[in-house]
Amino acid sequence: MRLLHTSDWHLGRAFHGESLLAAQETFLDHLVDVVRTEGVEAVLVAGDVYDRALPSLDAVALFDDVLHRLADLAVPTVLISGNHDSARRLGVAAGLIGRAGVHLRTDPLAAGVPVLLADDHGPVACYGLPYLEPTLVRERLGAPKARHTAVLRAAMDRVRADVATRSGTRSVVLGHAFVVGGQGCDSERDISVGGIQNVPARVFDGVDYVALGHLHGAQTLTPRLRYSGSPLAYSFSEATHRKTMWLVDLGPSGEVTATRVDCPVPRPLARLRGPLTDLLADPALARHEKAWVQVTLTDAERPATPMERLRRRFPHTVHLEFEPDRPAAQDEGASYRSRLRGRDDVQIGMDFVAHVRGRPAHGAERALLAAAFDAARLDGAGPVG
């Protein structure tokens, strides 16, 4: 059976204020084309369909459209809720939608109830384990502790019990978790509430293939345990990611082979660092002029209107940081109290200007600052602060 494993669509998410709806629509068009051209027999979506529990109407429209197109192709689709989704909302009308071959798995208690698929080699049982918040599902699943490992093990025990009753049936699990050995990035929401978030890979023992979601980089933990990663980059920490889906062939005896299918790249990412004048003049950076750009300026003195100047060359600069490359002050390790000892308000203000600007205040700035402190004293009839 040929499976297409994807996850972490995060429909409705923006990138540093830039809308990604058009890019997400392009990705979903691509997914449907892959299903059609590669002979995909089932689509697996391992959670985080949406970016938030109450998605925008535009995001819902994208989701609705792709479900209709997959149903029109008569290709079964199995989806689980992730930690960004509202399981209750995503699962509304799941029974009715299932009649069209779109199987939403959002109920933890249904972990051991498979979607039954079949090919020329026999049946395939596909189990959906939605994201399990330990404190909310512990008692329902009968887990001994409110920990990620405990609740996932309890859910997988239900899966293994059902698999044991189905002789000759191949098995697939969809899960949404942080599995030990996986490499995370900045755009994934922390799921450590309720105990240590990492779960060992052995929790998923006993099935032929595990389609994982949550981590945004495609990765193989074992030949039978893989993350598809997100189809788009959602932070600059993903600048080096190759965004793909897994095309998984499940053989007659449960053997697994998998190949990566590239996703469309709406705009590359670039992280640039250095003095402003160097970044604006360096011809080697021309390849980044159409990229989304994160810039870290290392100028000793903060330059004037840096974002405006950067965007003249790199129009899609969306994030700017300052890390001045200058020697540390001699008293940098001293306490705040000791650094202020014996200094009046104006001197402290001058120190602040020097710290921020990377150079001492010049004459006009010193005069302006002194006048401001004098005015404040007259208003307050006492020392400033």
> From first to last of its 385 residues, what are the pLDDT tens digits of the chain?
999 999 999 999 999 999 999 999 999 999 999 999 999 999 999 999 999 999 999 999 999 999 999 999 999 999 999 999 999 999 999 999 999 999 999 999 999 999 999 999 999 999 999 999 999 999 999 999 999 999 999 999 999 999 999 999 999 999 999 999 888 887 766 655 444 578 999 999 999 999 999 999 999 999 999 999 999 999 999 999 999 999 999 999 999 999 999 999 999 999 999 999 999 999 999 999 999 999 999 999 889 999 999 999 999 999 999 999 876 555 555 555 665 666 777 777 776 766 666 667 777 777 787 777 777 776 655 555 5
Give the pLDDT score at 193.
46
Q: What angle do CA 381, 382, 385 make, to 5 degrees?
A: 125
Give the pLDDT score at 380.
58
Give the pLDDT score at 194.
43
User: Where do the CATH 3.60.21.10 domains begin and end in the chain?
Assistant: 2-262
The residue with tokens 């697994």 is 256
Which residues touch 79 (CB under 8 Å, ≥6 apart)?
A: 45, 47, 49, 90, 102, 103, 104, 105, 128, 174
pTM over 0.75: yes
What dotted CATH number matches 2-262? 3.60.21.10
